[in-house]
Chain A
């Protein structure tokens, strides 16, 4: 008898992927195989997107007071959002509190920046002279637009509104980099300086941006190299992206974004960038 149980356990473990898994772990709401995987953000219990969204809607309609959390049907823990369409490192979020979902922080510019991460950055490098920036020690000059740009960038990547802590953390490491370089002539070469910079920012940003860290570091560098203000920079960037994707910026960017997501699933949440070079 004991042996049989063990076998059963093994079976469950070995079938961690595929349809068998879906049969063993059906959606607790429809009891069928999970269709359009969706997770609650605190307990990570899995449901069909439609099932859990219906339930959230039903609960909201039943309560006269606006709800800020959704109790997991399975474990009763309180959750603030439903995470779905997880592909690679991108996902969508459906907040239980509609105010949060409708909140205006995620602007068109945010969407555009997020989209940039799904495009090859190649063309933009032709616009700015990265070598010159490092050679002339331009990085020692403060960039007054950096804070605003960083905040928007991190908001776009994390889809969170309150990212001030992360922004200050990254600004802090950039500052400590410049201070260190200001201290006097170092024996480091231009390339080494550049690598130091990237390594420092990588370390600061990785806990928050995970698989997108490497690209994010490249993007910071580009923005600093450009010496443009945010609007001007966006404009130049948009031109390059358009050249690459040869498509205009659509109104229904979200749909477009998803389309791009599917085409370029090369970034992953837990990818260490070292080998994605």
Chain B
């Protein structure tokens, strides 16, 4: 408990310092609870998520960093490895491949990389996965872009 708190505090300070450098990631700690964080990440360019801003919710376990944080998308996203309803993310480093050398910041970076490189073979969103697996890249991209416009961009007017 104490160790996780100390480490999260270090990450908090690091985030404040790096704010200007990595403008694609905005990590914010809950005012009253250092175990709850949210992040705003920019959809990577040259993907259907470009131009969108996606919100992630972090729930950090007391055993952190021995255990990975739980992360899910709060913003709706059409992606093979993200559950369409719950926002749950299928990413190895958040499960078996977790290492305590990861930080919340680097997890965000990994999630951005996952957005750019979907793994269609381990889908949480079968519709999205099937589009990619059947080779319908155009179908996948237009669906993903539509949801990015609907959910991840500021509404016009």
Q: Are A32 and B10 in contact (CB under 8 A)?
A: yes
Whether a CB of chain A sits under 8 angstroms from the CB of B137 is no
With an 8 A cutoff between CB atoms, is B101 at the interface?
Answer: yes
**How far is A139 from B11 in the complex, measured between Cα atoms in Å?**
65
Whether A31 contacts B11 by the Cβ 8 Å rule is yes
| CA of A76 to CA of B99, assembled, Å | 9
Q: How far is the CA of A238 from the CA of B146 in the complex (A)?
A: 82
> Given the complex of chains A and B, what is the CA–CA distance between A30 and B5 in angstroms?
10
Q: Which residue of B lies closest to A32 (CB)?
A: B10
**Across the interface, do B6 and A32 meet the contact criterion of CB distance under 8 Å?**
yes
Q: Find chain B residues with CB under 8 A from A28 CB.
A: 100-101
* Shortest CB distance B71–A (Å): 19
B10 touches A74 (CB 8 A): no
Distance in Å: Cβ of B111 to nearest Cβ of chain A:
19
* Number of residues of chain B lying within 8 A (CB) of chain A: 13
Cβ–Cβ contact A54 & B6, under 8 A: no
Which residues of A sit under 8 angstroms from B65, Cβ to Cβ? 29-30
- Nearest opposing residue in chain A for B102, CB measure: A73
The docked-state distance in angstroms from the alpha carbon of A28 to that of B7 is 10
Closest to A57 in B: B66
Please tell me if the beta carbons of A31 and B10 are within 8 angstroms of each other in the complex: yes
CB A67 to nearest CB in B, in angstroms, measures 14
How many A-B contacts if CB must be within 8 Å?
33
Report chain A residues within 8 Å CB of B136. none
Most buried by A among B63, B66, B99, B100: B100
Contact A30–B66 (Cβ < 8 Å) = no
Q: Tell me whether A105 is interfacial, beta carbon within 8 Å.
A: no
User: How many Å from the CB of A50 to the closest CB on chain B?
Assistant: 9
Q: For A74, list chain B residues within 8 Å (CB).
A: 99, 101
The interface bits of chain B over 40-73 (1 if a CB of A lies within 8 angstroms of the residue's CB, else 0) are 0000000000000000000000010110000000
Chain B positions within 8 Å of A76 at CB level: 99
Question: Is B113 part of the contact surface with A, judged by Cβ < 8 Å?
Answer: no
B3 CB–A CB distance under 8 Å: yes
A28: min CB distance to chain B, Å: 4
Contacting residues, chain A, for B121 (C-beta < 8 A): none
Q: Is there an interface contact between B10 and A30, defined as CB atoms closer than 8 Å?
A: yes
* A58: B residues at CB distance < 8 A: 63, 66
User: Once the chains bind, are B10 and A29 in contact (CB under 8 Å)?
Assistant: no
Instruction: Please give 18 more A-B residue pairs, beta carbons under 8 A apart, in addition to A30-B3, A30-B6, A55-B100.
Output: A26-B10, A28-B101, A29-B101, A30-B7, A30-B10, A30-B65, A31-B7, A31-B10, A31-B11, A31-B14, A31-B103, A32-B6, A32-B7, A32-B10, A71-B99, A73-B99, A73-B100, A74-B101
| Interface residues of B, Cβ cutoff 8 Å to A | 3, 6-7, 10-11, 14, 63, 65-66, 99-101, 103
